[in-house]
Amino acid sequence: MPFRVRVSRRPRTVLLGLRARPSGRELEQWDEIKVAAAEAIAALGGTITHHHAVGRDHRRWYLREVPQLFAGALRGAKAELDPAGIMNPGVLLEPTGGTR
């Protein structure tokens, strides 16, 4: 499977691109690679967050590193600005407003 790695010094970022022949298991393979890469990043003290935000794919690692003070502030802001919970529900906060 050909791949490309690009390392940026500022911010310190590793970008990994993969190209593979169709196998019918692309999403499963992508998830395996994503989990392995994210676990390695976390184990070495890196962060899963970046300027592209977090999203559902990164949520499990985000919850390990998010400061509770920030989560509380976000919960308060979301309660004021999105009381119906319709903006990106369940990504950074539970749809009910609590963190997972």
**pLDDT tens, residue by residue, 5-38:** 555 666 666 666 667 777 888 888 888 888 898 8
pLDDT at position 7 is 59
Q: Tell whether the model's pLDDT for residue 41 goes beyond 90.
A: no
* CB atoms near residue 92 (< 10 Å): 22
- Give, in order, the Cα–Cα distances in Å from 100 to each of 56, 73, 86, 94: 12, 15, 18, 6
Residues 6 or more apart whose Cβ sits within 8 Å of residue 4: 16, 17, 19
